[in-house]
Amino acid sequence: MDIEQYMHTLGQQAREASRAMSRADTKAKNHALRAIATEIRAASDTLKQQNDIDLEAGKAKGLDAALLDRLELTDARIESMAEGLEQVADLPDPVGEISDLHFRPSGIELGKMRVPLGVVGIIYESRPNVTADAAGLCLKSGNATILRGGSEAINSNQALASCIHRGLAQAGLPTTAVQVVETTDREAVGQLITMTEYVDVIVPRGGKSLIERISNDARVPVIKHLDGICHVYIDGAADLDMAEEIAFNAKCHRYGVCNAMETLLIDSAISAEILPRLAKRYAAEGVELRGCELTQIILPDIKLATEEDWDTEYLAPILSIRIVEGLDDAMDHIHQHSSGHTEAIITENYDRSRRFLAEVDSSSVMVNASTRFADGFEYGLGAEIGISTDKIHARGPVGLEGLTSQKWIVLGSGQVRR
Amino acid sequence: MDIEQYMHTLGQQAREASRAMSRADTKAKNHALRAIATEIRAASDTLKQQNDIDLEAGKAKGLDAALLDRLELTDARIESMAEGLEQVADLPDPVGEISDLHFRPSGIELGKMRVPLGVVGIIYESRPNVTADAAGLCLKSGNATILRGGSEAINSNQALASCIHRGLAQAGLPTTAVQVVETTDREAVGQLITMTEYVDVIVPRGGKSLIERISNDARVPVIKHLDGICHVYIDGAADLDMAEEIAFNAKCHRYGVCNAMETLLIDSAISAEILPRLAKRYAAEGVELRGCELTQIILPDIKLATEEDWDTEYLAPILSIRIVEGLDDAMDHIHQHSSGHTEAIITENYDRSRRFLAEVDSSSVMVNASTRFADGFEYGLGAEIGISTDKIHARGPVGLEGLTSQKWIVLGSGQVRR
């Protein structure tokens, strides 16, 4: 198989399909989404059979239990994919939305129209449900998409691709609007991320190393999410009961998620009062604490945090704690160590809340709320294709709107430049 | 000189300065802009002296007349730079603008805040006025900037840098907020476009080859403007008087600009009527016409357009003309040959105007107006740093807003995830 030729064919087909998708009306797109959901439910047995082949191969290859778990398609997960597609059908269609129409002194009427990006390439790892989720979001936002899943999920993904193609056909949309790469050759990724003539944006979903590799080699723009080293800063003027609840929730609600707090910053003025209370809560959950030297004075039994701790996304029941001298010191720490995902301040001080909001340069900045709210569903985006820690184009949770751009439109009545 | 070390120092300084710039208030930024304008006016003699050195060196190197003209700083051009800075001071400050604040079911209040991108790298060619223009736009939008001008303008640019630094200092802003690269070594560009830790976006301004080279080698995101192959389509239902005026204006108002029409598409239904009228107008202006075979039937004396013509940005009094069979045929041609800059339809037909607006995938799409309106000033942006033919981030004319992004803000009263 000539991978370059194969990928270029996919690219050409996607580019062609993207024209049809950009003019597809909301009704046709929703028809397709619901038809795919129905096909997925109906193909449940086939999906599980194909998934079994992947699971067997994975076991034979010695994949670890966590990976095998992510790879598995259960009845519940199949139903959840179908429901996800129906939820995307229920979301408003962003395409064609016209905003800011106004007359200019020249007499032209100027506005912006929301339009699909064109062709979206998604590169992901073992979870086959991404195939349905990503296809659904791209479809609804009027994009064509090329999906490249992990090699360990190839049979599951191809079975899902069949369901997607049948659904697209039923709605009269081109089946090439969603193409799932059929080869596990790595060269296919190399092609996908450099075919600037066919692909408008790449969304990598997976671990940090995957995303870094893709960002380094891509010629196509990448909407990327590296790590989530999120901070909560408990200000001297915080409501300490509130601070305790938020600092507890931000760490303990779920550990393995990018919007979990990894470092807690505490104003020295209230550290002696709040730290023992928090330490008790964390201890009850089995969270390991690592602190700066000042923290160790208050909590003598904990480990000393190293420089590396401040730059680590634990994704685990571990928390680093630093006592700081007020807002500027806290923001300096954040500036140096944050990954630009989400930071929160707990304070009742008006001026410091405004400064934190304005000066902290992260995709989500919060006052008196848990970092765990930084999420497409909590933000009302309906679904998310990822959380961008980039500053260009999409920032924070990326939903349907992040898969679109705006073009200028001009409505005239014969105006010419003088 | 160790170029890598030098550029990394500039990068570090810019990153530090960007923090101060992002919190600088509107008053300080406007103070700096007006102070720089005053310094530029006061330094008029020095600027011309330094510019003379560049001009002499350019002549000695055998630069052509057009390049020497772009390089020259006249009194009028110096005054125009100063006025440009004062105009930017008069524009509204985009930074800190909060939009879409609304409550979510969880009780958090969610919105978006407009923030600077951080550090903007600008790479440009011979015109020294870009130094002042770009510095002004970046400053007002709260960004730090690293400017790398053409080697032939090095003395002019350094003299301008002194004015900028004095103006920044008077406003109490860090002089490192605007840094003009002091070496003409090409390696400096290579460093600038790959320092992802210090630079958030690159804006190349110059010819197509410069922009292509930079886009190919950059690791930092690039806001790029390749060529402007703009089309006007005269529909069968056009008002022919209007069509004549717009098609004339779009080609002849100015030739060397990216929003000038390069290809005229005409519905066969009205080609026999409109083409002779247009040919007369173009002939009077000395515009060379190149047409398809059908065009040649109506205008037998013109050259046959080659495939290459449809893909050429003439930037000259040359126009290619193709007769098409209606809207779909016209849009197929545009899809195949447009550079995604600006296209216009001339029609009185409601349905076709809507289809053209929705389906043509260019940064500006117009009905019954001249493509010449695709411009930052005409769009009311006040000034533009470039016209983006990308789909990601900024599309079309890029003003202050294109140099910012939006972060999410969450205002809570103690909310935690359940």
The DSSP secondary-structure symbol of B349 reads -
Residues 6+ apart with CB under 8 A from B162: B39, B43
- Tell me which chain B residue has its CA closest to the CA of residue A249: B416
Is A234 in CB contact (< 8 Å) with chain B?
A: no
Whether the CB of A257 is below 8 Å from some CB of chain B: the reply is no
- In sequence order, what are the residues at sequence separation of 6 or more whose Cβ sits closer than 8 angstroms to the Cβ of residue A197? A11, A15
pLDDT at A300: 96
Separation of alpha carbons A290 and B161, rounded Å: 48
Instruction: Tell whether A249 lies on the interface with B, counting CB pairs under 8 A.
Output: yes
A residues 338..367 contacting B (CB < 8 A) = 344, 355, 357-359, 361-367
pLDDT digit string (tens) for A62-119? Answer: 999 988 999 999 999 999 999 999 999 999 999 999 999 999 999 999 999 999 999 9
Does A104 contact B216 at a Cβ distance shorter than 8 Å? no
- Closest Cα of chain A to B301: distance in Å? 28
Give the H or E element holding residue A201.
strand A201-205
Chosen from B410, B411, B413, B418 to mutate, greatest number of chain A CBs within 10 A: B410
Sheet arrangement for strand A364-369: A303-304, A288-291, A318-324, A261-267, A230-234, A342-346, A364-369, B404-415, B109-116, B98-103
Which residues in chain B have their CB less than 8 angstroms from residue A387's CB?
none
Report the mean per-residue pLDDT for chain A: 95
Interface of A with B in 142-161 (CB under 8 A): none
Closest CA to A268 of A337, A322, A344: A322
Tokens matching residue A311:
């730059």
CB neighbourhood size of A63 (10 A):
18
Rounded to two decimals, what is the model's pTM?
0.90
Q: Do B373 and A216 touch (CB under 8 A)?
A: no
Q: Report the residue of A349, A363, A410 to disrupt the B interface, i.e. the one with the largest count of B CBs within 10 Å.
A: A410
Task: Determine the Cα angle at B207 with ends B206 and B208, to 5°.
Answer: 125
| Closest residue in chain A to residue B250, using alpha carbons only | A416
Three-state secondary structure call for residue A101: strand
Contact between chains at A362 and B96 (C-beta distance less than 8 A): no
Interchain CB distance below 8 Å, B412 and A368: yes
Confidence of residue A10 (pLDDT cuts 50, 70, 90): very high
Q: How many contacts, defined by CB atoms under 8 Å, are there between A and B? A: 215
Cβ separation B370–A416 shorter than 8 A: yes
Residue among B123, B129, B163 nearest B145 (CA): B123
- Which chain B residue is nearest to residue A245, measuring alpha carbons? B416
Strand partners, B397: B387
Burial (CB count <10 Å: 0-12, 13-18, 19+), residue B305? buried
Return the sign of the alpha-carbon dihedral for residues A392, A393, A397, A398.
negative
Predicted pLDDT at B345: 98
> What is the chain B residue with the closest CA to A376?
B408
Nearest Cα residue to A83 out of A141, A26, A33: A33
Q: How far is CA A15 from the centre of its chain?
A: 24
Flag whether pLDDT at A226 surpasses 80.
no
Task: Read off the tokens for B257.
Answer: 């600009």
Measured between CB atoms, does B337 come within 8 Å of chain A? no
Taking contacts as CB-CB distances below 8 angstroms, the residues of chain A near B413 are 242, 368
Q: What angle do CA A317, A321, A322 make, to 5 degrees?
A: 165
Q: Are A239 and B414 within 8 A, CB to CB?
A: yes
Strands (E), B226-373: 230-234, 261-267, 288-291, 303-304, 318-324, 342-346, 364-369
Measured between CB atoms, which of A19, A393, A417 is closest to B249? Answer: A417
Instruction: Determine the residue of chain A that is closest to B223 in CA distance.
Output: A392
- The answer to whether the CB of B383 falls within 8 A of the CB of B399 is yes
Closest CA to A292 of A275, A305, A278, A274: A305
Residue A416 contacts B, CB cutoff 8 Å: yes
Pick B108's closest partner by Cβ from A248, A365, A373: A373
Compute the nearest-CA separation of A393 from chain B (Å): 4
Q: Do B408 and A365 touch (CB under 8 A)?
A: yes
- Comparing CA positions, the residue from B275, B281, B277, B323 lying closest to residue B299 is B275
Q: What is the largest CA-CA distance in chain A?
A: 78
Of chain A, the percentage scoring pLDDT greater than 70 comes to: 100
Q: Does B376 touch chain A (CB under 8 A)?
A: no
Q: How many residues does chain B have?
A: 418
User: Residue A311 carries which DSSP code?
Assistant: T
**Contact B414/A365, CB-based, under 8 Å?**
no
Q: Please answer yes or no on whether B364 and A415 come within 8 Å at the CB atom.
A: no
Separation in Å, CA of A40 to nearest CA in chain B: 31
Token representation of residue A250: 């931000």
Out of B115, B362, B415, name the one closest to residue A407 (CB).
Answer: B362
Cβ-defined contact of A414 to B372 (cutoff 8 Å): no
Q: Which residue(s) pair with B345 in the sheet?
A: B233, B367
Minimal CA separation from A55 to chain B, in Å: 34
Residues of B in contact with A367 (CB under 8 A): 409-412
Q: What is the dihedral of CA B234, B236, B238, B244, to 10 degrees?
A: 50
**Angle, helices B268-285/B240-252, rounded to nearest 10 degrees:** 40
CA-closest candidate to residue B337, choices B252, B259, B270, B265: B265
Identify the band that residue A298 occupies on the pLDDT scale cut at 50, 70 and 90: very high
A interface test, pick of B241, B417, B418 with most A CB neighbours within 10 Å: B417
> What is the identity of the amino acid at A175?
T
Distance CA B87, CA A122 (A): 43
Say what the pLDDT of residue B393 is: 84
Distance CA A277, CA A113 (A): 52
Predicted pLDDT of residue B206: 82
- Where b means 16+ CB within 10 Å and e means fewer, B134-164 reads bbbbbbbbbbbbbbbbbbbbbbbbbbbbbbb
**Tokens 């962003």 correspond to what residue?**
A94
Q: What is the pLDDT of residue B394?
A: 84
Task: Indicate the length of chain A as a whole number.
Answer: 418
**Spans of chain B below 50 pLDDT:** none
Chain B nearest C-alpha distance from A249 (Å)? 6
Q: Do B118 and A378 lie within an 8 Å CB cutoff?
A: no
Residues 199-218 of B with CB under 8 A from A: 200-201, 216
**Among candidates B104, B364, B378 on the partner chain, residue whose Cβ is nearest the Cβ of A378:** B104
Contacts of A410 in chain B (CB under 8 A): 344, 364-367, 369, 373-374
